[in-house]
Amino acid sequence: MKKISLIFALIFAISSYYVQAERGRIVQAQKVVTLTPEQILGLINQHNTGGISPELITLVFMPKYTVDAYVVVYETIDPSGKATYSSGTICVPVGSTQTSPLVEYCHGTQFMDIEAPSMFVSSESMIGILFSMTGYVMVSPD
């Protein structure tokens, strides 16, 4: 009986340790760019090395909205349960008269910080912008 009590006490102590850190507090949010549909399509066409016609790109993405893109830094919890900071982007369609659906895009493994969505220099950033210009609020954690 002492062993069982000791095990439960140990489990409780460990679980209490891991929930001490809070998550979710936004530390900083900063608008970094506003892009019109024309500017977005121009960026796509500028980096289009696959020879896809601009007309097809416009048809596929059907741009409707200007996009405001924000970089957000927030508190979260690391795998060991300690408080840490993380970042990501939020892309918002401007001028929508309806409630915009929310989409989260989680990219694959990246090896350099410059590839993160919040750096706005990689294709990972464009995914959020493309979804937002069609009416979605797009969240992309780094």
Contacts of 90 (CB under 8 A, 6+ apart): 29, 69, 70, 72, 128, 137, 138, 139, 140
pLDDT at 51: 66
pLDDT at 45: 73
Cβ-contact 73, 89 below 8 angstroms: no
How many CB atoms are located within 10 Å of the residue 54 CB?
Answer: 12
pLDDT at 122: 67
pLDDT at 18: 46
How many CB atoms are located within 10 Å of the residue 76 CB?
Answer: 15
Q: What is the mean pLDDT of each run of 10 residues along the chain (142 residues)?
A: 44 46 78 90 71 73 87 87 86 88 79 74 76 88 81
For 27, phi then psi, to 5°, come to -90, -40
pLDDT at 84: 86
Q: Coil, strand, or helix at residue 15?
A: helix
